[in-house]
Structure 1
């Protein structure tokens, strides 16, 4: 039993380390799946350990009492014959060994109290709960000793802003951040939000974009470009094109690399994405429509915001 419990503790520690690593490496789009996977791993491990403990114990318990104890406790005393009369073992012992009045009163008082046996099942559960608490405390301590990735990323970003003469405009973290940041950049450059490449008429599309929020206009521009150039995007999708375009155009789904490609081409600008490590990812437009080398700059954060990945708008420092 001690060897089994030691192995179980090690398995729990290993699993917690594995779960911590998985959650750190998850992105916004994979976070839900990673959380579900981690929950399944914890449940499967707990069920297997419960089964192993039951097999080692090899006992059937009824409210903490073994079946052998129940049988022994409920076995009827053997009947014996005294003075020509058949009587039970209890009566025999009482008649052959008279008790003092004080002892007899004490016996009756004790017999009125319910007899309790140790509840082994509860003891095992309490022991396992204590082990789980110890593992959680250990995992929490290990997490506390890890470097603060958010602060490190912020510090590196600030250094890059200083080197490149940029200042940051923070965009609301609401799922539309990529599109809002692009809208802010396009308006700062005086380029407007209408696509620079004329789109074919799309059936059911709203051609009147007056009064729409900036991020909404940018979402529609990206969605329309993807529809018009489906062959360039479909190989990279894990779902039907129409479902993907619906998410881009009409929901708060986060944008990423594919949407940046669509926006660079439909707006005819170079998009530069400054990342926490100091690198810059350039997304080029079609060469024939580059507008005098105009560029837009975005800051990409992986750890800096509660929802996960995030984009801010970068402007030239005064």
Structure 2
């Protein structure tokens, strides 16, 4: 076989391999999305449960300072108390720097391992609609995008807004803030078609939020199938 034929053969094999990998990822995401849609009413039930709480308008921003140990401990205790008061439970998300995207992936696809796909979708939103978001970033926008693109980079309130816009979802945060229990992030120019519920141990960690009725276990059983 000539060098040119060999090169064409390798190029063709690489193309097929890449195409197959992308197809498998698309199928996986589609299956996860369908399973999540089957349980979409869950978010509305949580919304009814917390209907009496006044939500605070969301203002996109980058991450603030991480609280010191004492304040972080008090914040966490406050969050746990709120979870117990409203009959809610956290699905614990890995603290590897991807927790916001993992928690969103769990809510959307019932699988936190889709966090890479969620981050990719959020980054696409931030790039395509730059004028919508760049005013909230206190640095050069390209630098911010390059930084946020990296796996392990902490998501912020701007990526939450971009996720709400991209997925057409209202994102509800039960927080550990002293004066702010519930924050709602709504998509711009869209009527939300779903609700995503996260707990937010402020400036420290995100978890995926559910009612304490074993529903998450049912979804895991479906995913094993």
**Common fold, TM-score beyond 0.5?**
yes
Match of 1:183 in 2: 105
The alignment status of 1:171 with 2:87, answered yes or no, reads no
| Aligned equivalents of 2:210, 2:90: Cα separation in 1 | 6
CA distance in 1, matches of 2:187, 2:195: 10
| 1:298–1:312 Cα contact (<8 Å) kept | yes
Cα distance in 2, alignment partners of residues 287 and 237 from structure 1? 21
Shift of 1:287: 5.2
Q: How far 1:312 sits from its partner (Å)?
A: 1.2
What residue ranges of structure 2 are gaps of 5+ in the alignment? 1-61, 214-225
| Structure-1 residue corresponding to 2:197 | 297
1:243 aligns with 2:165: no
> May I ask how many residue pairs the two structures share in their alignment?
149
User: Is 1:317 paired with 2:219?
Assistant: no
Residue 30 (structure 1) shift: 4.9
CA distance in 2, matches of 1:263, 1:173: 20
Q: Matches of residues 18-29 of structure 1 in structure 2 within 5 Å?
A: none
2:131 to 220, 228, 231: 231
> Once superposed, what is the RMSD of the aligned Cα atoms?
2.7
Residue of structure 2 equivalent to 1:288: 190
| Structure 1, gaps ≥5 residues long | 1-26, 32-142, 194-212, 303-307
Question: Which of 217, 220, 244 is the matching residue for 2:120?
Answer: 220
Distance 1:249 1:150, change over 3 A: closer
Shift of 1:29: 5.9
Distance in 1 between residues matched to 2:81 and 2:189, nearest whole Å: 32
Q: Deviations over 1:222-277 (max 9, x none)?
A: 11001111001111223322222122223422111100000001001111111113
What does 1:74-85 align with in structure 2 at a 5 Å threshold? none
- Tell me the TM-score normalized by structure 1: 0.42
Structure 1 Cα separation of the partners of residues 80 and 137 of structure 2: 34
Asked whether the equivalents of residues 169 and 315 of structure 1 are also in contact (C-alpha less than 8 Å), the reply is yes
- Structure number with larger C-alpha Rg: 1
Structure with larger RCO (C-alpha < 8 A, sep 6+):
2
Please give the TM-score of this superposition, normalised by the length of structure 2.
0.58
CA contact (8 A) 1:272 1:281 kept: yes
Query: Following superposition of structure 1 onto structure 2, how do residues 239-278 of structure 1 map, counting pairs within 5 Å?
Result: 239-276=139-176, 277=178
**CA distance 1:164–1:295, change in 2 (3 Å):** farther
Instruction: Give the Cα–Cα distance (whole angstroms) in 1 for the partners of residues 107 and 198 of structure 2.
Output: 8
The separation in 1 between residues aligned to 2:200 and 2:190, in whole angstroms, is: 28
**Displacement of 1:285:** 1.4
